[in-house]
């Protein structure tokens, strides 16, 4: 009985997916994230790469491998740069970059795509794209009328960075989505550099 319940619970957890950046390659956890955030957080994201942030802090707190000073779950779900160092995108100021989102379960809310300073977790300048409301609306999603530009869009690399984000790991492009009714946050990150011109 208990094992059946556990199986059902894990199936539900697997099915409860939401969204992630499918292109360019997003940060996925590896050993550096295990060292910073602990095994439980890594297992959660590996099991479901669309998973939300809420729930992770509680999971992490119970894990001896979690180091709050090194693991900010509210930036890229805590996934560390070192685990994605092989996938750093080199962009030029003004370059148009296509981004694709795998959206598996909708929750209407707000979203933005932003350059984020990884030291401060602050958006650099203005969001590259922003949906103040109406993102991932259930009615549109299940009615197959979700605007294509919510999951396949272009962002333009700012021309005003002036040397900021020149070093790999300094900045990420983060897709951030908050489902208002579900009270769930999704974060997915692209590592990139922009050379100073």
Ligand X SMILES: *[C@@H]1O[C@H](CO)[C@@H](O)[C@H](O)[C@H]1NC(C)=O
Point out which residues bind Cu ion (CB under 5 A).
Answer: 182
Q: In the bound complex, what is the minimum distance in angstroms from residue 82's beta carbon to Cu ion?
A: 30
Q: Which does 193 bind (CB under 5 to 8 A by kind): ligand X, Cu ion, none?
A: none
- Cα dist from 66 to 48, 59, 193, whole Å: 19, 9, 28
For position 176 contacting ligand X by CB under 6 A, the verdict is yes
For position 132 contacting ligand X by CB under 6 A, the verdict is yes
For position 152 contacting ligand X by CB under 6 A, the verdict is yes
Q: Please select the residue that binds ligand X; options are 153, 168, 169, 193, rule is CB under 6 A.
A: 153
Q: Please select the residue that binds ligand X; options are 23, 31, 70, 159, rule is CB under 6 A.
A: 31
Handedness of CA 41, 42, 43, 47 (dihedral sign): positive
Q: In the bound complex, what is the minimum distance in angstroms from residue 188's beta carbon to ligand X?
A: 11
Q: In the bound complex, what is the minimum distance in angstroms from residue 122's beta carbon to ligand X?
A: 8
| Long-range contacts of the stretch 166-171 (C-beta < 8 A, 24+) | 166/193, 166/194, 166/195, 166/196, 167/193, 168/81, 168/85, 168/88, 168/193, 169/81, 169/85, 169/118, 170/117, 170/118, 170/119, 171/115, 171/116, 171/117, 171/118, 171/124
The residues of the shown chain that bind ligand X, judged by CB under 6 A, are: 31, 96, 98, 110, 112, 114, 116, 123, 127, 130, 132, 147, 149, 152-154, 174, 176
């Amino acid at each position: 009985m208990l094992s059946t319940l556990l199986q059902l619970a894990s199936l539900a957890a697997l099915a409860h997916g939401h969204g992630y950046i499918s292109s360019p390659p997003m940060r996925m956890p590896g050993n550096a994230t295990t060292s910073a955030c602990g095994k439980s957080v890594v297992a959660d994201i590996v099991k479901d790469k669309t998973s939300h942030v809420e729930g992770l802090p509680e999971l992490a707190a119970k894990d001896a491998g979690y180091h709050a000073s090194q693991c900010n779950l509210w930036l890229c779900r805590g996934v560390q740069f070192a685990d994605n160092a092989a996938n750093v995108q080199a962009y030029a100021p003004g370059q148009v970059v296509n981004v694709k989102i795998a959206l598996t379960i909708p929750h209407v809310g707000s979203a933005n795509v932003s350059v984020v300073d990884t030291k401060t977790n602050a958006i650099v300048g203005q969001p590259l794209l922003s949906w103040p409301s109406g993102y991932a609306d259930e009615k549109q999603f299940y009615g197959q009328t979700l605007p294509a530009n919510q999951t396949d869009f272009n962002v333009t690399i700012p021309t005003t960075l002036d040397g900021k984000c020149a070093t790999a790991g300094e900045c990420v492009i983060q897709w951030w989505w908050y489902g208002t009714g579900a009270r769930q946050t999704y974060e997915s990150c692209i590592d990139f550099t922009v050379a100073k011109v």
